């Protein structure tokens, strides 16, 4: 297992390198002068020169690349062109709200969706099954902003139980954080609950037809033991995949929800910096997103070999 882990981490290096090359070229291969793109329409030749020198644009391409990678290694992602703050601080600040919301969302989704899926598969064809499937269709088809605004209307405006918008770090005030995080998390989880419940149900239905489930029943085990000890673990691998990719998606793509709930997270930072053509920030965000995907995939693969002893790498 440690060997496998090491090998996987090593295999991530070329992946990240390819991403780095892409990010590097993003700016250099854009038609026209990158300095002019960065400086905008109103730049003076003097400003352009200064930008070229700071970015090292006068050097050959490979020298620029090595230099750039060296900077990244030292944690220097450059300076935001808009706010003049170091990019690493900017992204670091925005990362935590997104990660916290993602964690809560995925935990909530798994806690609700897996039992739903198990019940639906166990009582296949019954009203429970139909209810779960109906809910899952709704979860897929109602857009997040509709759910988000509906929840705000009911719980924040009408019932006044929760604040409308905003974000407080859990390390500062955990209760305050929960109060503000619960609505965005519920909003985001609707689609994940739908997805994970469906996946659990489908995967478990397959497994329930297997011979070893019949063997477990023939041993005189209770239905609970048959379902949770024998069937669920065998059904877990595809469910795990959905949960993992779901988590990665949550970190990189929750723009709408962050806007609706006014959360200062990565999604909004991405949109803002794209509109502002803040290239250093965009580069850092792409690298971060790629890194998160690689890391989450590694975790998913490791979970496979933990769930199923037949999977050994």
Partner 1 sequence: MPVLEIEDLRVAIDRKDGNEVLRGVSLTIEAGETVCLVGESGSGKSVSSLATMGLLPKGALKVTGGRILLDGENLLDLSAAQLRECRATRMSMIFQEPMTALNPVLKVGDQIREVLEAHTKMSNAEAHAKVLDILDQVGLPDIERMMRSYPHQLSGGQRQRIMIAMALILEPRLLIADEPTTALDVTTQKQILKLIKDLQKQHGTAVLFITHDMGVVAEIADRVYVMNRGEMVETGPLMQILSAPAEAYTRQLLSAVPSLVPRQARPVSRRNVALEITDLDKIYGGGGFLSKTRTTHAAKGVSLELKAGRTLGIVGESGSGKSTVARCVMRLIDPTSGGIRVGGQQISGLSRRGLHPYRKKLQMVFQDPYRSLNPRLTIEESVIEGPVNYGMPQAQARAKAAELLELVGLPAAAARRYPHMFSGGQRQRIAIARALAMEPDLLVADEAVSALDVSVQAQVLHLLAEIQDRTHIAILFITHDLRVAAQICDEVAVMRQGEVVEYGPTAGVLGAPKHDYTRALLAAAPGRDWDFPNFRPVAA
Query: Contact, 197 vs 120, CB < 8 A?
Result: yes
Query: Contact, 46 vs 54, CB < 8 A?
Result: no
**Could you say whether residue 3 binds partner 1 (CB under 8 A)?**
no
For residue 176, give both structure tokens: 């305050």
Piece of 19-27, 48-56, 169-177, 227-235 that binds partner 1 (CB under 8 A): 227-235
**Could you say whether residue 217 binds partner 1 (CB under 8 A)?**
yes
Site for partner 1 in 119-158 (CB under 8 A): 124-125
Piece of 29-37, 113-121, 140-148, 223-231 that binds partner 1 (CB under 8 A): 223-231
| Nearest-approach distance from CB 298 to partner 1, in angstroms | 15
Q: Which of 296, 187, 302 is nearest to 245 (CA)?
A: 296
Figure out which of the listed residues 222, 238, 262, 299 binds partner 1, where binding follows CB under 8 A: 222
| Nearest-approach distance from CB 233 to partner 1, in angstroms | 5
**Could you say whether residue 46 binds partner 1 (CB under 8 A)?**
no
Nearer to partner 1, 175 or 218 (CB): 218
Piece of 47-55, 145-153, 191-199, 214-222 that binds partner 1 (CB under 8 A): 214-222
**Could you say whether residue 218 binds partner 1 (CB under 8 A)?**
yes
Q: For residue 1, what are the contacts with CB-CB under 8 A and spacing of at least 6?
A: 305
Q: Which of 35, 41, 84 is nearest to 57 (CA)?
A: 35
Nearer to partner 1, 289 or 305 (CB): 305
User: Rounded CA gap, 206 and 187, in Å?
Assistant: 30
Separation in Å, CA 122 to CA 26, 117, 150, 171, 240: 51, 9, 33, 41, 20
- What backbone torsions phi and psi does residue 77 show, to the nearest 5 degrees? -100, 10
Q: Which residues bind partner 1 (CB under 8 A)?
A: 7, 11, 124-125, 210-212, 214-222, 225, 229-230, 233-234, 307-310, 313
């Amino acid at each position: 297992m440690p060997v496998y882990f090491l090998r996987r981490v090593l295999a991530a290096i070329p992946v990240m390198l390819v991403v780095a090359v892409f990010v590097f070229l993003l700016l250099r291969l854009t038609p026209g002068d990158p300095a002019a793109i960065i400086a905008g329409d109103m730049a003076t030749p003097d400003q352009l020169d200064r930008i070229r020198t700071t970015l090292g644009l006068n050097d050959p391409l490979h020298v620029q690349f090595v230099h750039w990678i060296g900077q990244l290694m030292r944690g220097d992602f450059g300076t935001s062109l808009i706010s003049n703050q170091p990019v690493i601080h900017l992204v670091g600040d925005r990362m935590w709200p997104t990660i916290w919301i993602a964690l809560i969302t995925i935990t909530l989704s798994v806690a609700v969706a897996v039992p739903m899926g198990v019940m639906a598969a166990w009582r296949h064809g019954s009203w429970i099954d139909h209810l779960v499937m109906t809910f899952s269709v709704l979860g897929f088809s109602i857009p997040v902003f509709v759910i988000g605004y509906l929840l705000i209307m009911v719980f924040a405006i009408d019932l006044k139980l929760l604040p409308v918008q905003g974000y407080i770090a859990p390390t500062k005030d955990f209760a305050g954080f929960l109060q503000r995080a619960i609505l965005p998390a519920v909003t985001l989880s609707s689609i994940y609950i739908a997805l994970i419940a469906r996946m659990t149900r489908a995967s478990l239905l397959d497994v329930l037809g297997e011979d070893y489930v019949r063997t477990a029943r023939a041993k005189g085990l209770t239905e609970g033991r048959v379902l949770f000890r024998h069937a669920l673990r065998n059904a877990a691998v595809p469910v795990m995949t959905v949960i993992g990719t779901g988590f990665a998606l949550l970190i990189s793509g929750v723009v709408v929800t962050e806007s609706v709930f006014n959360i200062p997270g990565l999604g909004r930072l991405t949109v803002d910096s794209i509109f502002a053509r803040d290239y250093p920030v965009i580069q850092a965000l792409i690298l971060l997103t790629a890194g998160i995907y690689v890391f989450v995939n590694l975790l998913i693969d490791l979970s496979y070999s933990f769930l199923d002893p037949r999977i050994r790498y």
